[in-house]
Amino acid sequence: MIKHIILWKIDDKFSTEEKAKIAEGAKTALCALVGKVPGLIEVKVQTEKLDSSNADLMLDSTLESVEALKGYQVHPDHVAAADNFVRPFMSQRLCLDFEA
């Protein structure tokens, strides 16, 4: 199994209220990918954070294989979710992929 972990920082040009809506929109869009993207087993999106955090949003996803991860990255539903609910709003992104 492959873990695909992403941390995002929402751009500071957005207000606190806007950031909350952006985070919830991203969570809804990303969680909806389970059952649509072959090999995507599980998606968890963390939007609640402690004040000590320097990221606003975390994606914790589990995929069947490296091949499934490659397919996920280009799958039209994933690309649409990322292009409409994630990428336009983020100022930073960190990724860690590993075998679990």
pLDDT in tens, 26-53: 999 999 999 999 999 999 999 999 999 9
Mean pLDDT of 72-95: 98
What's the pTM?
0.93
What is the pLDDT, as a whole number, of residue 78?
98
CB 85 within 8 A of CB 32: no
Give Cβ neighbours of residue 95 (< 8 Å, ≥ 6 apart). 4, 5, 6
Mean pLDDT of all residues belonging to the chain: 97
CB 46 within 8 A of CB 58: yes
